[in-house]
Amino acid sequence: MSDIFPKWTNKLPRAIIVGAVLVGGAVTAGVTYYFTPKYTRVGYQPIQPVAFSHAIHVDQVGLDCRYCHTAVEKSWYSNVPASSTCMNCHNQILKDDPKLEVVRDSFNTGKSIPWVQIHKTPDYVYFNHSVHVNRGVSCVECHGQINKMDEVYHAKPLSMAFCLECHRNPELRLRPTDKITDLNWKWDEDPKKNAEMQKANGTKFVHDWNVRTSQSCSACHR
Amino acid sequence: MKTIPPPCPEPDTGPKYWRSLDQLADKPEFRQWLEREFPEGASEFTDAVSRRYFVKIMSASFLLAGLGATGCRRPVENIMPFAKQPENYIHGVPQKYATAMPIRGTAIPLVVESNDGRPTKIEGNALHPDSNGGTDHFAQASVLNLYDPDRSMRFAKQGGVTAKREEALDFLSSVAQQAAGNGGAGLCFLSERTNSPSRDRVQKLIAAKYPQAKWFVYEPVDFDIAREAATVAFGKPVTPYFKFDEAEIILSLDSDFLALEENAYLNIRRFAKTRRLAKAGDKMSRLYVVEGLFTLTGANADNRLRVATSQVQGIAAHIALAIVKDSSLQAPLQAMADAVKLTAAQQSWVAECAKDLAHSGAKAVVVAGYRQPLEAHLIAHAINSALGAVGTTVALQDYDRPANGTLAELAEQLNAGSVDTLVILGGNPVYNAPADLNWTVAQGKAKTVIRLGYYEDETTASKTAPTLWHLPQAHYLESWGDARTADGTVAPVQPLIQPLFGGLTELEVLARLGGLEKTNPHDIVRETFRGLAGDDENKWRKFLHDGFLAGSAAKAGGASLSFSAVAARLGAAKTANAPTSNSLEVVFYRSHAMDDGRYANNGWLQETPDPITKLVWDNAVLMSPATADALGVGKFKAEARNNEASAGLFENQIVEVSIGARKVEGPVWIQPGMADNVVGISLGYGRKVDWRIARGQHKEGTGFDGYRLRTAAAPYIAAGAKVTGTSATRALASTQEHGAMEGRPIIREANLAQFEKNPQFAVALNTHEPPAPLNQPIYKNPFDEFKKRGVHQWGMVIDLNTCVGCSACVLACQSENNIPIAGKDQVRRGREMSWIRLDRYFSGNVNDPQAAFQVMLCQHCEAAPCENVCPVNATAHNEEGLNVMAYNRCVGTRYCSNNCPYKVRRFNYLDFNRRPLDSLKGPVYSMPILNSVDGEWELARWWKNPDRGLKPDEEWDLLALVKNPDVTVRMRGVMEKCSFCLQRIEQAKIAQKVKAGPSGDVQVPEGVIKTACQQACPAGAITFGNLNDANSEVSKAKQNPRNYTVLDYLATKPRTTYLARVRNPNPNIKDSYETMPGTTDEYVKKNHVKGDPFATHHGSDHGAPAAAGKGGHH
């Protein structure tokens, strides 16, 4: 009677197990890397209807974030400015520039400019801008160095893990409340010294301001 | 190379997106990309998609192209800022406006929250001199009517043909011109009862212009009888205003003043003030109720006398005889009293009640209800006068209103053919006019009918008039107007939104018909205000800001009873024989949910259980167990104190109720506590329309129409009725299939004497609960450490002594927390979604039981049993003691609900928010996937747009507008429950932190946070706040000796505790409750308690009285 299974089949179970582990590991690793906001969101840079450069307006002209994003200290929502805000200056400066055609049109017709949303939390997340910027969390912590961007892109993952990182260790992020919109600001130019000062001052802020960052679901989900 | 897309491109929805890829595939760039090893860059493509994104999508597209796997990518969303920034508008910060809800002869002062221009939540105006911020449940639900997809959205002429707005307005001008020519001859106005200074002024202006025009008012449920009676009794036009907070002894003559009378929410507030007991020795009022139905007021009575509704006036006469000494009244009172034969027990009841009233004197008050004839009201006034209560507990407000005719008079005129143009402003007479007026025919005799209506309802559908114009009416949240609140204070009705469908207000229609110079309602109101308060612009602004005109309350002038007028009217009183089982008495009453039918299409109210029957989506033929036995109809389970249910489902026999030739059919519901041989029918159901919620009398319809039995002569009490059983049954949905507590101390009650003896009686009852398996948990509760991180610790106390069971909290919660409507069929399956359950228990004698109410909501246990069993940690504690739900984490195992001892969790069995409203009617909810709508299979539709659901587009948009943006709208398969209004807590905390800035002052001050239920509660029965603050109201309430924990023996340490109920019956009235309340009696018998159940047992397992504050923080 000949063998139903040839000899090499003895190795098959081992091969299957090893194969399954490898494939499973690859899938897990793949999902962990590719399916998280770190990969899917960071770097997202849609083309906006108006080629607005934060770098020019903030770094060169020196506008404060709150000149345009007026509601950031009062509302959960940091507003994109109305066309009328742009026209405050651009009715004098570059008033015939073709690049601003869309803005002028919008201002004249009353139709909104359809900016493409970049930073977005899911609908079941209730992020609030005002409570962060009033309590020592700078714009730069979540949005990156917007002041250096010609065109805004998604700089940080804004995932739940990202939020928790800071909610677990707020002392590593808190800064004096008058430096919130100064995106270049550091305690010190020397990174090592900066980190030390951040830790020392942050801990003091946490204590003095009675910062008790919530890590409960209810902090963001309602 | 970049391109700038046009300013308003169409949104990139799923199918379009994939189509654009297909188009791309033909482009040379695409082929080039395919041939290359690495793509050069997405910027080559003309699509506004980044390279990274494009590559990712392309790889998926080869697998899924055409299937539309849009769920794999985040859709591109646009931010659409204003072109020109409006002043004082911050996106994301809700705005609040003061306004008022006019309702019949009164108005409720309100503050309405608007989110991005959508009115979403209604609250009472606490600034108003006659308000604590509470409202009734109708006001809470009225915001849903604004977004009703069935409301009138167009102007229509004869035959329902859509007309242009201009056309309709031109027609109104032509009527005005004609009337100006002939002085208004043949012009009749029929309106609802209103109490608006502007409305009165406009009517006077028009009446002066058209002296021949006639004015009529009709309300199917009319509270004007109180004014009418007071005017007769005191010989001048006055409105009685009852100050129950000043009263020690209250006698209600069939008056449901705590629920369904006019201004009930005010009465509740005032009544509650006399029921707050902080310690032994505190004073408490005593409420006597004489009634035929079992009303909410009766359920709150300390002593209740159950007699047929028609006999109430006779009982009143008996009581009056003992108190009123004026000789002219003796004879007529004696005659009325003689018509009612009293049993010995009733005699003693009446005598003791009269003695109590007389003893209390000016601190007593007697009120009669709207169902009672004028004579009962006159007797009440006579007693009040004799007691000296007029001026203390009864205030008489001067009152000056134009006189109007009645509906019966108008019908006469119509039948005589003397009406050319009939203007019907609001109301719905074809549906709710008395049956004997034959209104449909009468209305058809007018040459032209102009109808201003919120719905295209029965009155509009009636096609008998030669010319019929329908004008859409604006919701009060869309209208300019004004109104007088209960105390006579003028309040503005200001719009929060432009009329959604171009509706008109009553003021504007009247002004146009009157050919007045100003037709804009804002200008009319402004001018009225000028007349009231002068030309000062600042006063007007303050008026709009505050929501009332200070100092405009009606003057309470003195008046003395005109005995001769009262005697004359009483002498002519009609008396009725007591009903028998062959000649029953039908009592029609205002529905707790539908009012008179005006809220029939309001799903929130349809699904609010009637506080006594606990029925939803239906009315029923109510009768007492003895009557049902005598008639041989219905089934009743005495032990459960409820109607017989099979497997929790009620299938009730349909009976025919006939009075003469008129008859209606409806399911019988046996209601313990009703007077024998009385049949109760609530009005407002059985609409002859085919809307999404309100439906006619077919299987899926909502209730039956009681108006078909009503006559103009006997609008509330009809004698000589017969009830015969049929073989048919009707499925009813009730949210409580068991009326008894079975002796468990869930609601704890004592009589006042027992409370005085042992104020901590409620805690004493812990000892008789089943023994706790372990008094100390084996493991340390991790929460004890965790809670140290919290700045606040939230807790709630609910006072069962002031709660009357009005349901305002239930509706407030529904509105605040985006709670969906489940539908009758789903409620029958126990799938109602309301986060607050208002439990109603009966105890004692089945024929004459006591009722008690308990608001049951998530107790926020510190040692929450639900949390331990959640496999995905979707329900967990936060550091401030809230038991929170993360909906996005919930996978729907329902273990938590299974493990909850209080049964307060609700599960979204279906996608309630995405169903079309008309599928709520049941009986079968079609499977969402296997259904075809308009020839398109549901599955295909779902692939294209998973967000849309089965709803028709317009309905979807409208209903989305009522949602609170701060609360997640839950989907199918998700558990939900009371969150202590987490969104309000978080908002208050954030506001405080913003205010604190770089400082440590982050504790939210007392009084800033009010949960929606607490805010709406007119009684102030709910206290919520920070337990860490020893001075907070809630901390003080937890120190109240009556404080106890429901199911204490489970050691779940709830944050919500209750203050036990204390009844104050007259010890001299022997009605078997004089020694102890029915629930306690049941408890004693069930647990075989020997001796005093309220005595404190020392050395027991459970809390000694010192542990009264078992609120959770110890």
Mean pLDDT for the stretch of residues A154-165: 93
Q: Share the mean pLDDT of chain B.
A: 86
Nearest CB neighbour to A79, from listed B81, B791, B983: B81
Nearest CB neighbour to A117, from listed B9, B78, B879: B78
Query: Which amino acid makes up residue B289?
Result: V
What is the structure's pLDDT at B772? 58
Q: Which residue has the higher pLDDT, A123 or A3?
A: A123
CB contact under 8 Å between A176 and B998, yes or no, is: yes
Mean pLDDT for the stretch of residues B239-243: 93
Q: Which residues of B touch A127 (CB under 8 A)?
A: none
Model confidence at B209: pLDDT above 60: yes
CB contact under 8 Å between A221 and B886, yes or no, is: yes
DSSP state of B224: T
CB contact under 8 Å between A112 and B84, yes or no, is: no
Q: How far is CA B166 from CA B162, B173, B466, in A?
A: 12, 10, 21
CB contact under 8 Å between A74 and B5, yes or no, is: no
Q: Which residues of A touch B1012 (CB under 8 A)?
A: none
3-state secondary structure of B452: strand
Model confidence at B1045: pLDDT above 70: yes
Mean pLDDT for the stretch of residues B655-672: 94
Q: How far is CA B402 from CA A125, B493, B822, B843, B1056, in A?
A: 56, 21, 45, 49, 51
Q: Which residue has the higher pLDDT, A81 or B9?
A: A81
What is the structure's pLDDT at B826? 85
Nearest CB neighbour to A212, from listed B78, B791, B886: B791
B301 within 8 A of B288, measured Cβ to Cβ: yes
| Interface membership of A25 toward B (CB under 8 Å) | no
Entry field: residues in chain B: 1114
Q: How far apart are CA B829 and CA B922, in angstroms?
A: 11
Each residue's pLDDT tens digit, A77-125: 999 999 999 999 999 999 889 999 999 999 999 999 999 999 988 889 9
CB contact under 8 Å between B80 and A50, yes or no, is: no
Q: Which residues numbered 252-291 in B keep a CB inside 8 Å of some CB on A?
A: none
Residue B85, C-beta contacts closer than 8 angstroms, at least 6 positions apart: A81, A82, A84, A85
CB contact under 8 Å between A216 and B979, yes or no, is: no
| Interface membership of B74 toward A (CB under 8 Å) | yes
Chain B nearest-CA distance from A189, in A, is 24
Instruction: Residue B132: name the closest of B27, B262, B265, B21 by CA.
Output: B265
Model confidence at B21: pLDDT above 60: no
Q: How far apart are CA B300 and CA B853, in angstroms?
A: 9
What is the structure's pLDDT at B50? 46
| Interface membership of B52 toward A (CB under 8 Å) | yes
Q: How far apart are CA B1061 and CA B854, in angstroms?
A: 10
CA quadruple B896, B897, B899, B901: dihedral positive or negative? positive
Q: Which residues of B touch A85 (CB under 8 A)?
A: 85
Model confidence at A22: pLDDT above 90: yes
From the CB of residue A198, how many other CB atoms can be counted at a distance below 10 Å? 19
Model confidence at B535: pLDDT above 60: yes
Q: Which residues of B touch A113 (CB under 8 A)?
A: 7, 80-81, 83
In a 13 Å sphere around the CA of B317, the CA atoms on its Cβ side amount to: 29
Q: How far apart are CA B797 and CA A24, in angstroms?
A: 53
Q: Which helix (H) or strand (E) holds B729?
A: strand B717-734
Model confidence at B505: pLDDT above 80: yes
Q: According to the 3-state scheme, what is the secondary structure of B792-806?
A: CCEEEEEECCCCCCC
Chain B residue with minimal CA distance to A98?
A: B4
B1029 within 8 A of B1023, measured Cβ to Cβ: no
Each residue's pLDDT tens digit, B796-821: 999 999 999 999 999 999 999 999 99
Q: Which residues of B touch A43 (CB under 8 A)?
A: 50, 52
Chain B residue with minimal CA distance to A107?
A: B83
What is the structure's pLDDT at B455? 93
| Interface membership of B80 toward A (CB under 8 Å) | yes
Each residue's pLDDT tens digit, B998-1021: 999 999 999 999 999 999 999 999
DSSP state of B1049: G
Nearest CB neighbour to B968, from listed A114, A219, A222: A222
User: First-to-last CA distance in chain A?
Assistant: 71
Q: Which residues of A touch B979 (CB under 8 A)?
A: 218, 222
Instruction: Residue B98: name the closest of B109, B111, B108 by CA.
Output: B111
Nearest CB neighbour to B966, from listed A44, A80, A222: A222
Q: How far apart are CA B1022 and CA B132, in angstroms?
A: 13
Size of interface A-B (CB pairs under 8 A): 184
Give the mutation candidate from B88, B990, B1001 for the A interface (greatest A CB count, under 10 A): B990
Q: Which residues of A touch B999 (CB under 8 A)?
A: 208-209
Q: How far is CA B879 from CA A169, A182, B497, B777, in A?
A: 17, 33, 40, 20
Each residue's pLDDT tens digit, B254-297: 999 999 999 999 999 999 999 999 998 899 999 999 999 999 99
Instruction: Residue B1066: name the closest of B317, B244, B357 by CA.
Output: B357
Each residue's pLDDT tens digit, B85-137: 888 889 999 999 999 999 998 999 999 999 988 999 999 999 999 998 999 99
Q: Which residues numbered 90-109 in B keep a CB inside 8 Å of some CB on A?
A: 90-93
| Interface membership of B60 toward A (CB under 8 Å) | no
Both tokens of B462, joined, read 């009636």
Mean pLDDT for the stretch of residues B144-169: 91
CB contact under 8 Å between A82 and B82, yes or no, is: yes
Each residue's pLDDT tens digit, B400-425: 878 899 999 999 999 999 999 999 99
Q: Which residues numbered 59-88 in A keep a CB inside 8 Å of some CB on B?
A: 70-71, 73-77, 79-85
Chain A nearest-CA distance from B724, in A, is 53
Mean pLDDT for the stretch of residues B636-646: 86
At which residue do the structure tokens 């505190």 appear? B282
CB contact under 8 Å between B74 and A120, yes or no, is: yes
- Of the given ranges (B310-324, B332-346, B505-519, B683-697), which has the lowest mean pLDDT? B683-697
Mean pLDDT for the stretch of residues B162-174: 93
Nearest CB neighbour to B85, from listed A82, A205, A209: A82
Phi, psi of B594, deg, nearest 5: -95, -5
What is the structure's pLDDT at B41? 36
What is the structure's pLDDT at B87? 85
Nearest CB neighbour to A82, from listed B84, B968, B993: B84
Q: Which residue has the higher pLDDT, B855 or B830?
A: B855
Q: Which residue has the higher pLDDT, B482 or A35?
A: B482
Nearest CB neighbour to B81, from listed A82, A209, A214: A82
Instruction: Residue B1023: name the closest of B1043, B1041, B1004, B1003 by CA.
Output: B1043
Chain A nearest-CA distance from B124, in A, is 25
Q: What is the pTM of this model?
A: 0.89
pLDDT confidence band for B1084 (50 / 70 / 90):
confident
Rg of chain A over all Cα atoms, to the nearest angstrom: 25
Chain centre to alpha carbon of residue B254: 21
3-state secondary structure of B854: strand
B826 within 8 A of B600, measured Cβ to Cβ: no
B259 within 8 A of B297, measured Cβ to Cβ: yes
Instruction: Residue B846: name the closest of B217, B100, B306 by CA.
Output: B306
* Burial (0-12, 13-18, 19+ Cβ within 10 Å), B913: buried
CA quadruple B600, B601, B606, B611: dihedral positive or negative? negative
Nearest CB neighbour to A110, from listed B84, B877, B993: B84
Chain B nearest-CA distance from A165, in A, is 18
Model confidence at B926: pLDDT above 90: no
Both tokens of B1061, joined, read 């109920």
Mean pLDDT for the stretch of residues A160-175: 94
Peptide bond into B1067 cis (omega under 30): no
Q: How far apart are CA B335 and CA B573, in angstroms?
A: 9
Q: Which residue has the higher pLDDT, B598 or A35?
A: B598
Model confidence at B23: pLDDT above 80: no
Nearest CB neighbour to A111, from listed B8, B48, B74: B8
Give the mutation candidate from A38, A77, A218, A220 for the B interface (greatest B CB count, under 10 A): A218
